[in-house]
Structure 1
Amino acid sequence: MASSQSPVTKSPAKKSPAVKTVVFPVAGLGTRFLPATKAIPKEMLPVVDRPLIQYAVDEAAEAGIEHFVFVTGRGKAAIEDHFDRAFELETTLENKGKTDALKELVASRPRPGQMSFTRQQEPLGLGHAIWCAKDIIGDNPFAVVLPDELMHGTPGCLAQMVEAYKERGGNIVAVQEVPHEHTSRYGVIDPGADDGTVSEVRGMVEKPKPDAAPSNLAIVGRYILQPDVFVPLSEGRRGAGDEIQLTDAMAELIGRQPFHALRFGGRRFDCGNKVGFLEANLALALEREDMEADLRQVLTRYQTK
């Protein structure tokens, strides 16, 4: 990938409005994990002992997000229940003296009023899912987190993006390098001035063929966007896959507003496919003091001789 190493332009001293709201598009059917996801939302599949959606919410909270907006669909009630108070369970844990488990449950529950739920009634694409949150977002900048993409690092991916946003304003996407032959799976940016961590974005294209991709920097499920993105989304134009693509709407903001890409300094697990999901479970379990030794013993039984 060829890119300029000149300094990335930062916005003027005018302070950008803080990002306090995040949108979680969670209306997808999870067909890659059938039959497991026939009755359970894919976002509730556990990585070690927490569902995917909990990792996403925790990442957003670490970044200073105060309002969590879920764009749901049919069969997603378990997500709302997960973040609700479970009176019987909490009472049982308290009566049995299981204080650690009780503290874990209480800590995972957002404060009253922090969560909003709206429904995407038709599967018309990621752009359409984001548009469904338009009236909740209003005229404020907001983040988007795709729970399928488990981003593991300290600080978290969204926290890194918020820091970049404070300096530059505008719009920011998270990117990572992918093999050129995989560009047709992602939205891909055309990078401009690049300091090795943050790159200006000159353009982007959704799922380009490898020979047409402007780079191998793929957008990986984290966004900070200005509310202006709702203007092209409201037009409902179809793009790749005959869906309303968020990438196409974002592309219309380039040149009108600051637009940057941040290389996430951590590990990404694509939990939208089975191998990535299994890898996430293994990697995070191996970091646990209460599991590492036993798990390594188990893994030795499956090593290729």
Structure 2
Amino acid sequence: MKNKVTKAIFPVAGLGTRFLPATKSIPKEILSLVDRPLIQYAIDEARDAGIEEFIFVTSRGKGALEDYFDGSPELESALARKGKDALLETVQDVTMNSGEIVYVRQREAHGLGHAVSCAARLIGDEPFAVILPDDVISAPKGCLRQMMEAYENTGGNMVAVMEVPPERAGDYGLVDVKEDMGKLVSVKGMVEKPKPADAPSNLAVIGRYILTPNILKNLTNTETGAGGEIQLTDAIAHEIQKSDNIYGLRFDGQRYDCGSKAGFLQATVAFGLAREELSDEFMDFLVQTVEIRRAAQ
């Protein structure tokens, strides 16, 4: 019987330098996509997939991230007095219960693998998920929930994968496919940010993982890899040498790289147009903007 996955790690210790100067005073994960911060999309996806314990790997200067999930007595009282019940409910919905969320400090930035290993004592001997809030995924069914359903049949380790253009291969960790079963692939190797000529496939790993505790053990022996950092993909690749239990899932949905300015803007447009109360006015603005730009050319 496979152990149920109830814990998720959220690596949120990064400095967000691509969004300076905004991230000089606020964590990148608090940047708002329409009217919800990036981290809220990740939390909602995790909850929908059955996650019950949320582990944030943070760093100095992330106090606003912790405050966001705390209660807001003054704000809630003011909204209640003014009869703004819908807004009050919205605020209360994002408040996390005591003990539901845990914060662990990553004192020095040594890569994603190191960030995940910082939470090892809280994971123990259980399977766990890893969610990168920079990767926001729009899908009828949450990406992690899709992975959970596939995991029920496979067990082992699973990564979310998507096809990327060959010229972009060097921007991602890529899987070497052992067997292609359609939505699911079995993996015989992984490589982090290879040269395009050395890419084993065009299937890139994006920020969703379901992992066994063996990966945490591998991380303790993983040397620095691409970029001089401890790479999570290297620890997963080491597990392939020991067992045949690594899978990639071609998820249904559109992924937006909100760790980049262009990706963040693309996500803002997509999520704005998806909102019924905004779509008409927003679409009119976009059409007019495009027409004005074309006329100017």
Normalised by the size of structure 2, how large is the TM-score?
Answer: 0.96
Q: Look up the match of 1:27.
A: 13
Query: Residues 187-266 of structure 1: matches in 2 within 5 Å?
Result: 187-255=173-241, 256-266=243-253
Q: Look up the match of 2:135.
A: 149
> What is the one-letter code of the residue matched to 1:289?
E
> What is the one-letter code of the residue matched to 1:53?
I
Aligned pair in 2 of structure 1 residues 236, 189: CA closer, same or farther (>3 Å)?
closer
Secondary structure of the residue aligned to 2:4 is coil
What is the aligned-residue RMSD (CA, Å)?
0.9
- Provide runs of 4+ in structure 1 moved above 3 Å: none
Query: Residues 124-135 of structure 1: matches in 2 within 5 Å?
Result: 124-135=110-121
Q: Look up the match of 2:87.
A: 101
Q: What's the CA shift for 1:257?
A: 4.4
Normalised by the size of structure 1, how large is the TM-score?
Answer: 0.94
Query: Residues 104-115 of structure 1: matches in 2 within 5 Å?
Result: 104-115=90-101
Task: Judge which range, 278-287 or 101-110, deviates more.
Answer: 101-110
Q: Aligned partners of 1:109 and 1:254: how far apart in 2? A: 39
- Of 154, 165, 168, which residue of structure 2 is paired with 1:179? 165
Q: What's the CA shift for 1:230?
A: 1.3
Summarize deviations over 1:16-75 as a string: whole Å, max 9, x none: 100000000000000001001111100000000000000000000000000000000011
Taking only the aligned residue pairs, the percentage that are identical comes to 53
Q: What's the CA shift for 1:235?
A: 2.4
Q: Aligned partners of 1:267 and 1:218: how far apart in 2? A: 14
Q: Look up the match of 1:267.
A: 254
> What is the one-letter code of the residue matched to 1:224?
I
> What is the one-letter code of the residue matched to 1:176?
M
- Of 294, 300, 303, which residue of structure 1 is paired with 2:281? 294
Query: Residues 42-61 of structure 1: matches in 2 within 5 Å?
Result: 42-61=28-47
Summarize deviations over 1:59-115 as a string: whole Å, max 9, x none: 000000000000000111111100000110011111111111111111122232110
Q: What's the CA shift for 1:236?
A: 4.8
Q: Look up the match of 1:284.
A: 271
Q: Aligned partners of 1:198 and 1:79: how far apart in 2? A: 35
Segments of structure 2 that go 5 or more residues without pairing to the other structure are none
Q: Is the 8 Å Cα contact of residues 128 and 236 (structure 1) preserved in structure 2? A: no
Q: Aligned partners of 1:96 and 1:48: how far apart in 2? A: 24
Summarize deviations over 1:156-211 as a string: whole Å, max 9, x none: 00000000111100000000001111111111000121221000011000001110
Segments of structure 1 that go 5 or more residues without pairing to the other structure are 1-14
Q: Is the 8 Å Cα contact of residues 171 and 257 (structure 1) preserved in structure 2? A: no
Q: Aligned partners of 2:90 and 2:276: how far apart in 1? A: 17
Higher helix share: 2
Paired residues in the alignment total: 291
> What is the one-letter code of the residue matched to 2:263?
G
Aligned pair in 2 of structure 1 residues 257, 79: CA closer, same or farther (>3 Å)?
farther
Summarize deviations over 1:230-267 as a string: whole Å, max 9, x none: 12211251111111110100101114141100011001
Q: Aligned partners of 2:278 and 2:173: how far apart in 1? A: 36
> What is the one-letter code of the residue matched to 1:260?
Y
Q: Is the 8 Å Cα contact of residues 113 and 231 (structure 2) preserved in structure 1? A: yes
Secondary structure of the residue aligned to 1:59 is helix
Secondary structure of the residue aligned to 1:116 is strand
